[in-house]
Amino acid sequence: MAEEGAIADAERGILQWLCRFGADSAGPSPTKNLRLETIACLRSYRFQIIAHQVLFDCIWELRVLPIEALRRELPVRLVRAGFPDFDLRPYFEPTEMGAAELAVLLRRLFPPNDGRPV
């Protein structure tokens, strides 16, 4: 049971990180590249929490948008997906989470023995 909670927390943390960065129009950047790699890595992952899966599916569809457009469009997509009361505020709050912390969360979802690169 504790492991399930840790997985749900990892999913939430990763989604929060993804919601804080959009595809910037200024060209490639380490954060932009890491964001796109993370989204691609999660594409075949089945989230334990349905709301997390729906949020990720919306992020996947909007993955190339700048952050301002992502923030505008995510609520609309969530309503269309049947989640009109989804509270996005925690997902858009500032964070100091960097690449190392993100990698730790990804390892919780994809332990090293499952063959996926993290």
Tens digit of each residue's pLDDT (9 = 90 or more) over 37-85: 999 999 999 999 999 999 999 999 999 888 889 999 999 999 999 999 9
* Per-residue pLDDT at 116: 54
CA dihedral sign, ordered 96, 101, 103, 108: negative
Q: Angle, to 10 degrees, between the axis of helix 30-42 and the axis of helix 2-19?
A: 140
pLDDT at 112 over 80: no
pLDDT at 11 over 70: yes
Helix (H, G, I), strand (E, B) or coil at 32: helix
pTM of the model: 0.85
Per-residue DSSP letter, 8: H
